[in-house]
A and B are shown apart, each in its own frame.
Chain A
Amino acid sequence: MKPAGAVAGASLAERVRAAAEIAAEHAEAVDREGRFPHEAVDAMRAGRLLALSAPAEVGGEGASLADIAGICTTLGGACASAGMVFAMHHISLVNLLDCGMESAWHREFLTRAASEQLLFASSTTEAGVGGDLRQSICAVEADGERFNLAKNAPVISYGEEADAIFATARRDPDAPSSDQVLCVLLKDQMEIERVSTWDALGMRGTCSHGFRYKANAPQEQILPRPFADIAAESMVAASHLLWSSVWCGIASDALAKAQAFVTAEARKNPAVTPPGAPKLAETYTRLRLIEAAIRDGLARWDVMRANPDAGPTMGFALAMNALKVSVSTEALRVVDEALMICGLQAYKNSGPYSLGRHLRDIHSARLMIGNDRILAGAGQLLLVQRTAQTRRS
């Protein structure tokens, strides 16, 4: 069935390709100027790519997480910032879909989001807790049927361009730091002030500025499920899968440049295999492993989602942690190896083989929830994971 709003006649692949072409065209300017990839996001809207995973009944297309992941890779290869915007938006959409369908306000909001192609940002990071998703200092304060929330957020990607921000906070002022909820805050319900500017090494187009904001909104906008469950059952895994897919896109584009470079060398002198060819094969192999890891993660996601009563096991959480740590590390290696293959041509900031932007962008991967923090958590989980060797005798 063709979704009502879809661009007449164009297949999903065609719409994605169109958005990716526009993203690629502006990627350099976005990076250089550290500005939001407006053209690419407008193209996503025009191609109706922003509510793909919502069911058709609310105006989406019922796309699977694997479909979204594939688009993240395509867009990430064209412009890493645009790909990351698409990924982060869809992570919030997964959260909304997971608990929004039961609540009248969220269903209505989903319908509006699909028809108007609203863009969602996420505000979990808070001054004082860093990248620990599962802790908040700020708290929801009930105010009759409404609530107030004030948060000091050192990073919110495209916080100024988003139509709504999904913010974590403690359930109430007396709740412990880990008893959190996720609130949908609409732009016109917030007073938001930029307190620091995102002038970063890479991912410059995500415009991940620091903000302080105050919101007042109806309590029905708070997602009905505890954030602890949302994090464990969808957000952490969806983040790691979609971020990894973007990083895979960056690595794929770097490899494509290296391959083009080696091929050009071979054309100049067909009698001799270019010196970069073996290295190219090694890098190619690494990229295949990255792709396999993502496919494995997506398959585990499907198994987990097909069995919602059991919920995610610790084994699932471990696998998602391993995915994030390995893809962020290996994708950086791919880009670094591509730089070595192309040499100076890649080091220069212009020309067909330039890889500076890729290298700077991919350097964000290991920090986006620090790998050491993730490994510390995974180390804990490994103490309880059961293998034949750890069994009590």
Chain B
Amino acid sequence: MNQQIHDIILAHAGLPAGVEITDETDLYRAGMKSFASVQLMLALEEAFDIEFPEEMLNRATFRSASAIERAVSQISSATLVA
């Protein structure tokens, strides 16, 4: 999942060409604009067949690859239980 998230970030976060990111890189500081964060979110929903609940739709959720991974795991496990 981690690699897939990194690929989606590179494809959709609209970061400047050549930028390298780690799990902890702050994507907003790296240049992600709010427009791109929306595209990133939609791509994540499609790739993982999930839906971010309203209360997770904030800047913190999409701040870094690791934050995204936590959020995706949390949503996926909640869906399995339901």
Contacts and interface: CB of A to CB of B under 8 A. Distances in A.
B49 to A, nearest CB: 7
A59 B25 CA distance: 39
A311 B58 contact: yes
Interface in B48-82: 49, 51-55, 57-60
Interface string B22-51: 000000111111110010011001000101
Contacts of A229: 59
A179 B28 contact: yes
Contacts of B58: 310-314
A384 B53 CA distance: 10
Given A380-B34, A386-B53, 14 more contacts: A177-B31, A178-B33, A179-B28, A228-B28, A228-B59, A311-B60, A313-B57, A313-B58, A315-B57, A377-B34, A380-B38, A381-B38, A384-B52, A392-B51
B57 A314 contact: yes
A37 to B, nearest CB: 35
A314 B32 CA distance: 16
Main secondary structure of the interface of B (DSSP, over half): loop
Interface string A279-321: 0000000000000000000000000000000111111000000
Contacts of B30: 176, 179
Chain A interface size range: 20 to 34
Contacts of B60: 311
A313 to B, nearest CB: 5
A237 to B, nearest CB: 13
Contacts of A176: 15-16, 30-31
Nearest to B31: A176
A384 B55 contact: no
Main secondary structure of the interface of A (DSSP, over half): loop
Contacts of A228: 28-29, 59
Nearest to A390: B51
A383 B55 contact: no
B32 A384 contact: no
Contacts of B55: 310, 313
Interface of A: 134-135, 171, 175-179, 226, 228-229, 232, 310-315, 377, 380-381, 383-386, 391-392
Contacts of A232: 59
A87 B50 CA distance: 42
B23 to A, nearest CB: 19
A313 B28 contact: no
A232 B32 CA distance: 14
A386 B33 CA distance: 21
Contacts of A380: 34-35, 38
Nearest to A132: B33
B29 A385 contact: no
B31 A179 contact: yes
Contacts of A178: 28, 31-33
Contacts of B53: 386
A177 B34 CA distance: 13
B36 to A, nearest CB: 9
Contacts of A179: 28-31
Contacts of B51: 386, 391-392
Contacts of A175: 29
Contacts of B57: 313-315, 384-386
A104 B33 CA distance: 31
B17 to A, nearest CB: 11
A315 to B, nearest CB: 6
